Amino acid sequence: MPIHLSFNNIRNSKAVTEHVHHVFQDLIKITDDKFPFHVNLKKVSEESYHVGINCCYKSKPLASKAKHHNLYKALAKGIDSIKIQVKRKAEKIRN
């Protein structure tokens, strides 16, 4: 699956990379694994993480951003947001 993952001010972690791939499984099914996701993980301060997710789904740019003091929770918020957007776009296309 085309997930482009970048780490800013965070060491590249195998555990985080595997977690990202795991939580994107639902989105892979919805998009038939045809659209790349760009995931940017950034530590903005000692106790704050920022997650940005971008995707161009059916020629429509989608994006989500989330902040939290826990990287995994910021990632979950960002993925929930992009998942909702992808589902809405997929429903519009079907109708």
Q: Number of structural domains, the chain?
A: 1
Q: What is the pTM of this model?
A: 0.87
User: What pLDDT does 61 receive?
Assistant: 92
Q: The CATH number of the domain where 26 resides is what?
A: 3.30.160.100
Eight-state DSSP code of residue 26: H
Region 5-10 average pLDDT: 94
User: What pLDDT does 76 receive?
Assistant: 94
Q: What is the percentage of the chain residues whose pLDDT exceeds 70?
A: 98
Q: Hey, what are 59's tokens?
A: 């020629």
User: What pLDDT does 95 receive?
Assistant: 66
Q: Which of 44, 53, 49 is nearest to 23 (CA)?
A: 53
pLDDT of 1 > 60? The answer is no
For residue 24, the enclosing domain spans 3-94
